[in-house]
Amino acid sequence: MNNKASVLVVEDEPEILELISTLLRLDGLDVMCASSGEEGLRAFFQRRPDAAILDIGLPGMSGIDLCVRIREVSEVPVIFLSALGEEQGRVRGLRVGADDYIVKPFGADELKARVAAVLRRAAMPAVVTETETADFTDGELVMDHGAHTVTVRGVPAA
């Protein structure tokens, strides 16, 4: 079984697609590539990646539209990669559901660090709120936060 994190890269410029996929593979990630929004959407549903890097200016379905479609079914981290660096474009990308936005040209180390950051956050367990039950047991001690009880070896603690 492959335990590598997988990243979908959707980019229509072949040189940039090759660069990104090589950088991420060298970082130990499983990379799947697509060169259009439609191809990226098919790859997303077939492979269910752990993160996605989307160019905004794709032929056919734009990266914005692709992100919207992904957000309809998944909370997978999405990073936009775009030559459009104006604040309005970055804000729009974040508002449609992207977790990050990188402007081209980009630094290789920054790209790898941002991908690692979104994967790290996605892998973190959800924070348990006071209204949810968060049980803990080590075999002898059992804590039921929802019921506000503690038992030791099956006996309620005083």
pLDDT exceeds cutoff 80 at 17: yes
Alpha-carbon span 141 to 158, nearest angstrom: 13
112 occurs within a structural domain: yes
Q: In terms of pLDDT, which residue wins out, 1 or 4?
A: 4
1 occurs within a structural domain: no
pLDDT per residue as tens digits for the range 30-53: 999 999 999 999 999 999 999 999
Domain shared by 139 and 111, yes or no:
no
Domain shared by 23 and 96, yes or no:
yes
Domain shared by 34 and 100, yes or no:
yes
User: What is the 8-class DSSP label of residue 26?
Assistant: H
Domain shared by 94 and 136, yes or no:
no
Domain shared by 118 and 157, yes or no:
no
135 occurs within a structural domain: yes
pLDDT per residue as tens digits for the range 99-141: 999 999 999 999 999 999 999 998 887 665 444 444 777 777 7
Average pLDDT over all residues of the chain? 88
Alpha-carbon span 56 to 124, nearest angstrom: 28
Q: What is the average per-residue pLDDT within 53-57?
A: 95
Domain shared by 27 and 102, yes or no:
yes
Sign, Cα dihedral of 84, 17, 7, 23: negative
How many separate domains does the chain show? 2
Element (H or E) spanning 6, and its range?
Answer: strand 6-10
pLDDT exceeds cutoff 80 at 10: yes
Provide the pLDDT for residue 5.
95
Domain shared by 158 and 95, yes or no:
no
Domain shared by 95 and 118, yes or no:
yes
Provide the pLDDT for residue 126.
62
Provide the pLDDT for residue 128.
52
Provide the pLDDT for residue 103.
93
pLDDT exceeds cutoff 60 at 78: yes
Domain shared by 75 and 133, yes or no:
no
- The rounded Cα 25 to chain-centroid distance in angstroms is 16
Domain of 89 in residue numbering reads as: 6-123
